[in-house]
Amino acid sequence: MRKVIMVGCDLHDKTMLLKIAEGREEAETRSVKNTAAGRATMIAGLKKRAATAGEARVLFAYEASGQGFGLFDELTDAGIECHVLAPTRIARSQRQASQKTDEKDAQQLLELLRAHVLAGNELPTVWVPDPTTRDDRELVRLRLDVAEKMTMIKSQIQSLLKRNHIRRDQSTGKGWTRLFRSWLKGALCESADSPLGVNARLALASLIRQLDFLEEEERRLDEGVNALAGETRYAAAVEEMVRLCGVGVLTALVFLTELGDLSRFANRRQLAAYLGLAPRSFESGNANDRKGHITHQGSSRVRKMLCQATWARVRYDAQERQTYGRIVAKNPKKKKIAVVASMRRLAVRMWHRGRAFPGQPSRSMILAAQAAH
């Protein structure tokens, strides 16, 4: 039987703590610098160890984090089987959470690998997007972040006006119209008769400049987003998705870049669970049908965009408005149930339309093609 060398890694910005073991033997502890040279030395050492053990299989596991998937790429390219594990799916007791150390974390990852190899337990892995999808995410996510910053600054401006007991001029209309922006700059910042104090005027002027800058950045990012939507890997799916009422180019791209390979979902239940739109279960003994709030797992970005698109659909789509009203009528005090149901239906529709046009190949397909050559 082929030997297996298992490595549990607690990954940090500057260091990596490794727990290395073969079979049921006691783990060996190693600390490696998280630099290009350190990682290269680690990989060379693992490959040498595997060769000494008779071409043993090497399994490496670490938790997903803000470090990204660069380590996964390096290990995979070197022929080492790497698994990126989801921290939220690793069971931890309250005692483990209160006595957390790097060694214990690495040891727990090693034990998960042991259970996988020796007992066949399933590993709580995350889906690793290909480099192109990761690159696309950077643009789409930044576009969403800019919109959030703009909303925050608008709230700061409104709060500043409230603190100074200033009500907007009714002639400026509703919302952030050009007239309202001109009134803010002219009557409140530049006018000698401004009801604001000197420092409040300086603060308001700064907030307006920040808002102007972010609006320009939003315009530039929108150009990039529209160009990305026209790429071969997204064009057909985006064109099909935007036919749905309430779904725009940005909403479609958020859905496609965050979910990646849509074919990895076998059915709508798996999709809803991944997006965190499935209810929590509280079943014990005779109580076997107790459901709670949605899990909120998965990408919060996708849920936010689905929520915004859902409200547009309820407003402008007669059929969706009728379905929403029917669910609300069953429980008028809990309208969020109807909103979540609408979000889930929209996600399933987008999934059906998106998977009909597979774009970027999955990493498993890429690796399989490389192995074939």
Average pLDDT, the chain: 91
Res 23: pLDDT? 87
Residue 364 has pLDDT above 50, yes or no: no
**77 and 32 co-located in one domain:** yes
SS3 string, the chain, reads CCCEEEEEEEECCCEEEEEEEECCCCCEEEEEECCHHHHHHHHHHHHHHHHHCCCCEEEEEEECCCCCCHHHHHHHHCCCEEEEECHHHCCCCHHHHHCCCHHHHHHHHHHHHHHHHHHCCCCCECCCCCHHHHHHHHHHHHHHHHHHHHHHHHHHHHHHHHHCCCCCCHHHCCCCCHHHHHHHHHHHHHCCCCCCCHHHHHHHHHHHHHHHHHHHHHHHHHHHHHHHHCCHHHHHHHHHHCCCCCCCHHHHHHHHHHHCCHHHCCCHHHHHHHCCCCEEECCECCECCCEEEECCCCCHHHHHHHHHHHHHHHHHCHHHHHHHHHHHHHCCCCHHHHHHHHHHHHHHHHHHHHHCCCCCCCHHHHHHHHHHC
In terms of pLDDT, which residue wins out, 369 or 138?
A: 138
Res 124: pLDDT? 94
Over residues 79-114, the pLDDT tens digits come to 999 999 999 888 888 887 788 899 999 999 999 999
Domain CATH code at residue 39: 3.30.420.10
What is the band of 369 on the pLDDT scale with cuts at 50, 70, 90? very low
Res 289: pLDDT? 63
Q: Average of pLDDT values for 290-318?
A: 90
**224 and 241 co-located in one domain:** no
**Does residue 181 lie within any of the structural domains?**
yes
**92 and 161 co-located in one domain:** no
**86 and 20 co-located in one domain:** yes
Residue 346 has pLDDT above 80, yes or no: yes
Q: Average of pLDDT values for 346-357?
A: 93
**Does residue 124 lie within any of the structural domains?**
no
**Does residue 299 lie within any of the structural domains?**
yes
Of 206, 229, 252, the last residue of a domain is 229
**Does residue 373 lie within any of the structural domains?**
no
**83 and 156 co-located in one domain:** no
Res 250: pLDDT? 97
**277 and 162 co-located in one domain:** no
Res 286: pLDDT? 64
Residue 349 has pLDDT above 90, yes or no: yes
Residue 200 has pLDDT above 90, yes or no: yes
Res 142: pLDDT? 98
Of 175, 195, 229, the last residue of a domain is 229
**142 and 88 co-located in one domain:** no
**Does residue 349 lie within any of the structural domains?**
yes
**200 and 309 co-located in one domain:** no
Res 165: pLDDT? 94
**201 and 252 co-located in one domain:** no
Over residues 113-134, the pLDDT tens digits come to 999 999 999 999 999 999 999 9
Q: Average of pLDDT values for 193-216?
A: 95
**72 and 106 co-located in one domain:** yes
**Which of 278-282, 328-332, 367-371 has maximum average pLDDT?**
328-332
Over residues 251-261, the pLDDT tens digits come to 999 999 999 99
Q: Average of pLDDT values for 46-58?
A: 93
What domain range includes position 20?
4-119
**Does residue 183 lie within any of the structural domains?**
yes
Q: Average of pLDDT values for 230-234?
A: 94
Res 132: pLDDT? 94
What is the band of 192 on the pLDDT scale with cuts at 50, 70, 90? confident
Q: Into how many domains does the chain fold? A: 3
Res 170: pLDDT? 86
Of 229, 258, 276, the last residue of a domain is 229
Res 370: pLDDT? 42
What is the band of 284 on the pLDDT scale with cuts at 50, 70, 90? low
Res 357: pLDDT? 82
**Does residue 361 lie within any of the structural domains?**
yes
**Does residue 30 lie within any of the structural domains?**
yes
Q: Average of pLDDT values for 319-340?
A: 93
**102 and 50 co-located in one domain:** yes
Q: Average of pLDDT values for 227-237?
A: 95
**292 and 358 co-located in one domain:** yes
Q: Average of pLDDT values for 36-44?
A: 96
